[in-house]
Structure formats: structure tokens, C-alpha cells
């Protein structure tokens, strides 16, 4: 799920945009009674971490080889299975009922989400709500038992040098842990005007997106989301969305279904040394107003273009990003006091934040609904089957005392393909019954579906394998019959 921008990111990260807005103290997890045994701490936390596998329908790139640049690209074929791609990411459980946090770019445009718990249990997931700008999503799974949940820590208390560890599923190889320290705070990697990322040297790779960054008290203090690297692997420069931002966004998504940021209707930028010199300020500080929207709270309170905001509620924001996060985190109706420099004089302006207009916010932040693509697929889970040729049938009967059905084709990117099945494999059994014809395979698959099973079990004799002999493969059933 990984794509590159200026910086190599995990799974096409929009990373930490727009709602990196402080806040939200959290309940400590495992902070009392935890001894120095790191292995024991990690063992207790791993059940809160999950693998997230998704399927996306990605249209093929347009054909730009034609000399006629204005020509329309060739439409995709009706059978668009070749456009379906599978990706993996990570996440963590925040509520025993089955609420899972991950990056939005992990589940963006996914028509199928599968969440795998640390014990191997696979559960279908549904994206409840998400913020594209914050690159965070809330996924729901239904389990038959309460799930182990992680707890938020306070990223505002972090210091450079603090020990941390990252957990997730890099490259889809399985749940993994890497240790490191906090390498930097409030990092701006030019993803948005709101960047406030934690930098760590704990190894983060493709597949770690959405996984937790833990402190040594077992609290989630970040959501792993981005790396910078000159190669496709980790170079020790990874970034996580701070828990102060992530917890706020997730609470908003859980409560309201969208993020309701405070808004006063201004655009600001950090005062540089050059700007300070130009307007006669003795030193570079604060954020200068470059635009004030008509009829917004700032305009009504008297804030003007060229004013410099020095303080927010008595505190000094570190830069324009911190000021915007403070404003965005202010609840609608909540009052704020801004110390403003206007034409050389300083005075306070008191104003109330409004809720960012929902219709405007949705244009930038609301996820686009995804429908499962309509695809013409062969029956039997994307497997094309044929009777076993007589010579092969005789050899199989002589060596193993059984019959089988030949796999002649496996649809690319199907579940069977993702589990290693290939043309030339022989299906020996479906569930507990031997099969000798394609119809018997179909009957077995349909019987499992009728029993409302999520998977159908097949005994396969692979055409090629590092280990001789058959193996069992559990294929995920499509309830629609495809």
C-alpha cells in the first residue's frame, strides 16, 4: 500500500494533515505495577495490535503512448479483476467492543477490509469514519468476545531521547516489534501546514502504517504513518502522529462521525526574521495574518490583515502550525484570548470559535464512499478447474490412492492467488470430502457457503513446493457467490 511522494511514505500517507490539533489527556495503560521486564510488557501489549489487509480496485494507468495527447484512454475491461490490488497495514484496538485505529491511507478506497488479531483470528472490518486530512480512520470489527484494548498516553510529555517501541506488521510478514528513541518532536515534513510529527529511529517499514508507537509505560503515544528514506526500506527516520492529535481526532470521529474543528476564519504564517525587520518588530515571533475571511469570527472581532498574533490564551505557540492546532482544537462557542500586535501596539482580542462549516469541511476531509466493484469472476473462488488428465490421474492414484481436480488458472489478485495457489495445482479435498470433478469442487464450496462459513478448506497438491506433499489452504468465501 506504499507509494512515494517527495518523501517515501507508508501506503500513500496523507500523514498528519489538518487536524494535528493538540489535546486529550488519556487513561494510562499498564502504568502501574509494570516492572523493568520489557519482554513481559511487550507480550501484554501485542494482543492490542492488529494486521489490516485490504483490497482496492485501482484503474489501470492511462495509455499515454499515443501521439494524440487528446485521445481518451481506453476504458477498462468489464472483467476488472486485474485491477484489484491487495495491501497490508497495521492498527490497534482502542475499545474492547472492536474499535480499531489505523491510518486513513491504509483503508482508503478499500472495498474489503480484513482485520487479523494477534492470535490469528480473522475478522471482517468496516470503516466507520475517517479524516483524510488527519490520515486517521476508525474501523469496526465484530468479535464474539471482548478484545484487548490499548490506551492513549500523553505525547505532550515526550522528550527527545525517551525510549519507545513500534509494533505492527511490516511487509505483511507478521506481528513485529522494533525499539528506539524519540529522535525529534514537532517535525514538519511539508505534508501540510499542520504537521506536528514525532520522529523516531524505531524501525518503521512498509506495513507498519497505522500501528502504535508505545512508550515504556505501555501507552500509545503515536500512530506510525510515514518514513523518509532514499530507498524502499527504513533508514531510521520514521514519523508518527502524536497521540495528543490522534486521540482528539479519533474521539471526534467516534462521537460525531466527523471532526468538528474550531474555526475563526484566518490564514496565518510564521513571522520570519525578514518579516520582522520589514514591519519593525524587534525580533521574529508570532504569526502574521495574511487573510481574514469576511463574516468570520476573526473579522467580527477586529482582527486585520497584517496583525501579528503573539499569544493564544496566554501561551506562546511555537509556530503557525501550533497556533492553527490550538484554534482547531477549540470547541465551537469556546472563547479564546489572542494577544495581537496591530500597527506597533499590542492588545488582547477576545473571540469565540465557530465550528468549521460542515459543507466546506467535507470537500477536503470526508472519505469517498467505496462500492465493491462488479466483476465477472469464474466460480470456485477465482479458480478455473478441469478434470485431471488420465495419465496424471493414474499417477496420483498409484502414489497417493486418491483422485483430484486440476487448477488450470488462478485469477490474479484473488484470495486464492494471495495464498499461493497457481495453475497446475491439484485439489484433493474440499472440506472433508475427496473431489474428482470440477462439479464436486463447486458443490463443496457452495455447501460451505450455505453453512455460512467465512472460509472453505481445500487440500492442495502444489505443482511446485519447497516441501513435498499436500497442504491445506483456507480460502475466504465471498457471500455473494463469486
- Are 361 and 257 spatial neighbours (Cβ–Cβ below 8 Å)? no
Question: E strand or H helix at 443, and its extent?
Answer: helix 438-450
CA distance 102 to 285: 36
Residue 169 a catalytic site member: no
Residue from 2, 90, 131, 135 carrying the catalytic annotation: 135
Exposure string for 428-460, b = 16+ CB within 10 A, e = fewer: bbbeeeebbebebbbebbbebbeeeeeebebbb
CA distance 15 to 239: 9
> CA 314 from chain center: how many Å?
36
* DSSP state string for 188-223: --SS-TT--EEEE-S---TT-TT-EEEETTS-EEEE
CA distance 162 to 183: 8
CA distances in angstroms from 193 to 197, 319, 465, listed in the order given: 12, 10, 52
CA distance 474 to 479: 15
Residue from 105, 151, 206, 329 carrying the catalytic annotation: 105
Name, in order, each residue with C-beta under 8 angstroms of 233's C-beta and a sequence gap of 6 or more.
205
C-alpha cell at 155: 505525547
Residue 329 a catalytic site member: no
Residue from 183, 192, 209, 243 carrying the catalytic annotation: 209
Residue 209 a catalytic site member: yes
Q: Are strands 136-141 and 433-434 parallel, antiparallel or unpaired?
A: unpaired
C-alpha cell at 312: 493564544
Least Cα distance to 247 among 165, 329, 125, 148 occurs for 329
Name, in order, each residue with C-beta under 8 angstroms of 438's C-beta and a sequence gap of 6 or more.
380, 385, 386, 387, 405
Least Cα distance to 222 among 286, 281, 153, 276 occurs for 153
Helix then strand then coil, % of the chain, to nearest 5: 20, 35, 45
- Which of the residues are catalytic? 105, 135, 209
Amino acid at each position: 500500500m506504499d507509494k512515494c511522494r517527495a518523501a517515501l511514505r507508508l501506503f500513500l500517507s496523507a500523514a498528519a494533515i489538518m487536524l494535528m490539533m493538540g489535546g486529550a489527556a488519556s487513561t494510562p495503560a499498564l502504568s502501574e505495577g509494570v516492572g523493568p521486564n520489557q519482554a513481559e510488557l511487550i507480550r501484554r501489549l501485542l494482543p492490542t495490535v492488529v494486521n489490516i489487509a485490504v483490497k482496492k480496485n485501482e484503474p489501470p494507468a492511462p495509455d499515454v503512448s499515443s501521439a494524440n495527447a487528446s485521445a481518451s484512454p481506453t476504458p477498462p475491461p468489464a472483467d476488472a479483476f486485474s485491477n484489484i490490488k491487495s495491501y497490508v497495514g497495521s492498527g490497534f484496538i482502542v475499545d474492547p467492543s472492536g474499535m480499531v485505529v489505523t491510518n486513513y491511507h491504509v483503508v482508503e478506497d478499500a472495498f474489503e477490509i480484513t482485520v487479523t488479531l494477534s492470535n490469528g483470528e480473522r475478522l471482517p472490518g468496516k470503516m466507520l469514519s475517517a479524516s483524510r486530512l488527519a490520515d486517521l480512520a476508525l474501523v469496526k470489527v465484530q468479535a464474539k468476545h471482548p478484545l484487548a484494548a490499548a490506551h492513549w498516553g500523553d505525547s505532550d510529555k515526550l522528550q527527545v531521547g525517551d525510549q519507545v517501541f513500534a509494533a505492527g506488521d511490516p511487509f505483511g510478514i507478521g506481528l513485529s516489534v522494533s525499539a528506539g528513541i524519540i529522535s525529534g518532536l514537532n517535525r514538519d515534513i511539508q505534508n501540510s501546514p499542520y504537521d506536528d510529527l514525532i520522529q523516531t529511529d524505531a524501525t518503521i517499514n512498509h506495513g507498519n502504517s497505522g500501528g502504535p508507537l508505545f512508550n515504556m509505560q505501555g501507552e500509545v503515544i503515536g500512530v506510525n504513518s510515514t518514513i523518509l528514506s532514499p530507498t524502499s526500506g527504513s533508514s531510521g527516520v520514521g514519523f508518527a502522529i502524536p497521540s495528543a492529535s490522534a486521540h482528539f481526532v479519533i474521539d471526534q470521529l467516534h462521537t460525531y462521525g466527523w471532526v468538528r474543528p474550531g474555526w475563526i476564519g484566518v490564514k496565518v504564517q510564521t513571522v520570519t526574521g525578514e518579516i520582522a525587520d520589514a514591519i519593525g518588530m524587534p525580533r521574529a515571533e508570532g504569526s502574521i495574518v495574511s487573510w481574514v475571511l469576511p463574516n468570520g469570527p476573526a473579522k467580527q472581532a477586529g482582527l486585520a490583515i497584517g496583525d501579528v498574533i503573539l499569544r493564544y490564551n496566554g501561551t506562546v505557540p511555537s509556530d503557525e502550525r501550533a497556533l492553527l492546532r490550538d484554534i482547531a482544537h477549540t470547541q465551537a462557542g469556546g472563547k479564546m484570548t489572542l494577544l495581537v500586535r496591530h500597527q506597533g501596539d499590542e492588545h488582547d482580542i477576545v473571540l469565540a470559535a465557530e465550528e468549521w462549516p460542515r459543507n466546506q469541511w467535507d470537500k477536503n476531509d470526508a472519505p469517498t464512499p467505496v462500492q465493491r466493484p462488479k466483476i465477472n469472476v469464474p466460480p470456485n473462488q477465482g479458480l478455473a478447474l478441469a478434470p485431471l488428465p488420465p495419465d496424471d490421474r493414474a499417477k496420483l492414484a498409484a502414489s497417493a490412492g486418491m483422485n483430484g481436480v486440476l487448477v488450470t488458472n488462478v485469477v490474479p489478485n484473488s484470495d486464492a492467488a494471495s495464498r499461493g495457489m497457481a495453475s497446475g495445482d491439484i485439489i484433493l479435498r474440499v472440506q472433508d470430502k475427496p473431489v474428482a470433478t470440477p462439479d464436486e469442487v463447486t458443490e463443496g464450496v457452495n455447501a460451505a457457503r450455505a453453512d455460512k462459513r467465512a472460509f472453505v478448506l481445500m487440500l492442495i497438491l502444489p505443482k511446485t513446493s519447497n516441501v513435498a506433499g499436500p497442504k491445506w489452504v483456507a480460502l475466504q468465501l465471498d457471500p455473494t457467490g463469486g
